[in-house]
Amino acid sequence: MNIAYETGASVSLCPHPQPKLDTQSVTASGQWTTSEPTSKRLPHHPRESERQALLRAAESGCLAFRQIHLAIEKNYFSGKGAPRPFALALPGGMMPTKPMPKENSRWMVGIVDPQCLYVYKCDAFTQRLLLEPGLTPAQLRAKLLPDLPSSLRRRGEHGDQVTWRAYPHRFTSGHLQVDGTFSLPKLKPGNATPVLDYPELVLTKYDKEDIKCFFVYLDTQINIADTLWDKRQCEQVLKLKPLPLVVYCHRTGSVQVYFDDELDSKHLARNEDSLDYFAISQGIAPENFRAMLNLLPMSLRVEALSSELTFSPDVDHKLQQAIQLVSDPRFYSYEKLLELKQSGLPIHQHFFHKRRFQSLLETLLTSEMCRSEQPEHEQTQKQEKAANQMFQLLLHSGASLPKEWCVAFIYGMISFSYFPMPPDIMNCMLVAFSPFESLTLPHLRKIPLTACPGAVIEFDRICRGLNQQQLQSCLEELLRYPRRLNPPTFDIIQSHLLALYHYLAGLNPEILYRLKKSLDWYYPNGAKVIGDLSLDDYIQWVLKLWKQRETHPFYQNWPEHVLRAEQEIAALKQSLHQDDSGASASPLTAEAPTALQFVVDAFSKPPVLPENVGDNEKTILKVLQHYYRRPGPERVIESLGRQTMPTVWKPLHSCSHVLRARNNGLWYMELLEKCQQRRLRKVEKELLALAIIYHDAAAEDVDKSAEETRSAYYFKRDLAGHYPEQLLDNMALAMVSKENDVHRKGEQCLPEPVRWYLRLLRFADRMDIIRGCGVGADFPGLTVTQPLGFDASRLDLPPQLTRDFTSEPGNKSEFQRHLEAAMHGAADLARVTGQLQDWRKKNYTQVYGLNANGSKISENFEWTSEPVQRMNQFIDDNVRRKMAREAGMIVCSDPGHQACRADQNKGITYGIHNSWYDL
């Protein structure tokens, strides 16, 4: 396994601004220049040796972890407790497990070089089985393995079968027997190998001193500050020195190691707690925003969140003014709020302020609820008028509220406010957000029906939806309003009673009896219920109102009240119609590029490459992670608007493509040497291989016309100081010039070495272009194939080697024969590890009985921590097939073994059988 990690110091000491195309140029003489600073070698952390020890342990499969409960784990450190199970951080594997659920005081610790009592493949109940009396390890239903290396080897085999399955797995592996005959593969029951849980190690003992790190899964929603708090709690309870933090990705098997001083930040905890609100304020799904940030190395994420989340100073100043205008009745001003709107502030939208997601409309309503709780003399008509005007301006601008919020707000007014909501604002709410299906008559109990058309309409709508029994229940509730209104008023109770009487069939005497009984305790000894009325007087007043209802003007005119209210509300709704703002209810996005600039800046940082930079697994993994497994800075904002985060960020220029292209380039360099065309120095070969990996670094992020220039910029920026400057300049110039032939640009002025580098880059990339257009029946014909197919003329081959190309098998030059073999090999590899369309007469997968899922394997290359090793594995498989074919052996995938002329009864077989193990 090759471990991917970053250090906080590495990132913070090497800031780079977002690259711009105008900072780069190619001089007339072919000299590559850039105005950007180059990267520097970074100092080691004081505890770097600990980090490296943990990384080596992870690479060798000797890093184990255990979830613990802090309160009881100390009991096991005495050595008297039962052996404790640990799980391995498997190198390069994709563990078929999910992150452990987080519970209070349950954290994970890691140890190095575990000393095992025994090793086994287990499920969740294996540990319980060990406690059964008389049960020995040999009797477990899960197979025991003798030692740790055996466990790692077995797990590696299983991981290959499950994760990288490209061929059928229905057969057991055949093998050569002692007598020289071949044992036939046997058909397995079922079509798939079941997924096993991860192996656990049962240790003989472990103590506090054995704990070398605090362990955490790399989760898309992880909070760094929470993780650090958990780690410090663990250290405090167990009295441990500060532990390194190991971040393990169970999907890829990659590991990152950090120390506290690399992750501490003043605003980190507060910003992480506010990320959901901030994301919503920008119209972004919170889970997508967190997932995007967590594509960054942890130390770079800390740096990105080290400043307070806010808007630009200008927008923030306007927001502060608007908030003051709607939150404090002393500053209510319709005119000033209108000025802010006209200045460009989207007053209708939600925004992020003081770690909360809110809107001016919500703030104004909350302010009005608080104002209504003040003594009556402080409720001025001026404030009420200004509040109503601002409320209408916000609605007119497109402001909106969830109905649940409105109902909760109205309920809050009923439950906590001393005075009712001003009728004008209540009307506007009912106009803008009605109907409220969850609204009930008690929700309206503080609103007189004589002064609020909106309440009249809602009252009528609610009553029409109730049956007589429900209406009787509402009447009983209404008659108890005096106890719930402070102070109770005849106006409210009388208007509500007369309106409700209009829908009732009759006043049941039992209701009055129950009313008296329920209010006796609250109003004893003639206490006043409402006005000057005692309880008995109040009941008589209710009864008299019922008997005389038909002569009361409000009762008689109730249908006209409802009709008039509907007309008034319709007119108000027309006046509030959004007609000039172009606004919507989406969150505050006018400043999205500025507010989200910190994310763009973070994705613009260069990668921190390993110390031994070169054409090796660690360097290539780092480049793939940085440029291919996430969006570039130009695409971050756009990507945040996606509904889901993709698995493959560059489907047309994936990791598997550049890995195949690298192999094409390495092979071509050897062929040129063999044909005595060009002998490259070791440093040139190494840097060319890296240039091939970098050649699509900016693809799909920037405009097609800028891809080569930007990729070359990344290549030179990242590798400056690691290779000779002139060599970097020449190869960067070759990268920029790669598509010159397509754009009909002359290349005669290019220096001689650049021309050769250009040929190598073109060959490497375009040999793999078959991934997109496929290969025709005449492949590997060296002319343009029709229809759209692979055009070998674009390989930019040396003219002196291609003049005598012929279609006669016996007259082909050695170069042509090697070239055609390589073209077939590239097509075969792209077919297995990609999505190549193959129309050859001898289709590779058909000839060898393959059933490869190229798209799935290509997706796995996006996540594996062993990209080079995995690609070489598939190349080796192809080599084995070719060797078997040239030796006259038959590759068999026939369940009946008819194709290989085998006789299972006699133990006779020919060829190799198409299983993972035989290959």
pLDDT digits (tens, 9 = 90+) for 684-696: 999 999 999 999 9
Say what the pLDDT of residue 798 is.
Answer: 87
Say what the pLDDT of residue 889 is.
Answer: 60
Say what the pLDDT of residue 330 is.
Answer: 86
pLDDT band at 918, cuts 50/70/90? Answer: very low
571 phi and psi, to 5 degrees? -65, -40
Contact 874, 190 (CB under 8 A): no
Buried b / exposed e across 794-803, counting CB within 10 Å, b at 16+? bbbbeeebbe
Mean pLDDT of 434-450: 76
**Tens-place pLDDT, residues 255-291:** 889 999 999 888 888 888 888 878 877 778 888 999 8
More confident residue, 309 or 884: 309
Say what the pLDDT of residue 582 is.
Answer: 40
Say what the pLDDT of residue 683 is.
Answer: 96
Cα 564 from Cα 569, distance rounded (Å): 9
Say what the pLDDT of residue 164 is.
Answer: 62
The residues pairing with 33 across neighbouring beta strands, listed in sequence order, are 25
If one counts every other C-beta atom within 10 angstroms of the C-beta of residue 204, the result is 12
Flag whether pLDDT at 589 surpasses 90. no
pLDDT band at 699, cuts 50/70/90? Answer: very high
In single-letter form, the type of residue at position 351 comes to F
Say what the pLDDT of residue 460 is.
Answer: 92
Closest among 286, 268, 289, 287 to 224, alpha carbons compared: 268
Say what the pLDDT of residue 760 is.
Answer: 95
Flag whether pLDDT at 325 surpasses 80. yes
**Tens-place pLDDT, residues 523-537:** 887 788 887 888 888
- What pairing do the DSSP bridges indicate for beta strands 85-88 and 116-121? unpaired
Cα 682 from Cα 679, distance rounded (Å): 10
Cα 492 from Cα 549, distance rounded (Å): 16
Flag whether pLDDT at 250 surpasses 80. no
Of 9-18, 317-326, 569-578, 908-917, least confident by mean pLDDT is 9-18
**Residue 838 token pair:** 């193959």
Say what the pLDDT of residue 594 is.
Answer: 73
Say what the pLDDT of residue 596 is.
Answer: 86
**Residue 762 token pair:** 């073109």
pLDDT band at 614, cuts 50/70/90? Answer: very high
The pTM of the full predicted model, rounded to 2 decimals, is: 0.70
**Tens-place pLDDT, residues 65-76:** 888 877 677 777
Give the best-scoring range by mean pLDDT among 93-97, 201-205, 443-447, 462-466.
462-466
Flag whether pLDDT at 558 surpasses 70. yes
Closest among 880, 823, 834, 791 to 668, alpha carbons compared: 823
pLDDT band at 361, cuts 50/70/90? Answer: confident
Cα 827 from Cα 849, distance rounded (Å): 16
Say what the pLDDT of residue 170 is.
Answer: 46
Say what the pLDDT of residue 388 is.
Answer: 82
The residues pairing with 201 across neighbouring beta strands, listed in sequence order, are 86, 119
Say what the pLDDT of residue 397 is.
Answer: 82
More confident residue, 287 or 662: 662
Give the best-scoring range by mean pLDDT among 16-30, 692-706, 857-871.
692-706
Give residue 599's Cα distance to chain centre.
14
Flag whether pLDDT at 132 surpasses 70. no
Mean of the per-residue pLDDT values for the chain?
76
Say what the pLDDT of residue 906 is.
Answer: 59
H helix intervals, 548-654: 553-556, 558-575, 592-595, 597-604, 617-627, 636-640
Contact 558, 499 (CB under 8 A): yes
Of 91-100, 313-322, 806-815, 825-834, least confident by mean pLDDT is 91-100
pLDDT band at 120, cuts 50/70/90? Answer: low
Say what the pLDDT of residue 580 is.
Answer: 42
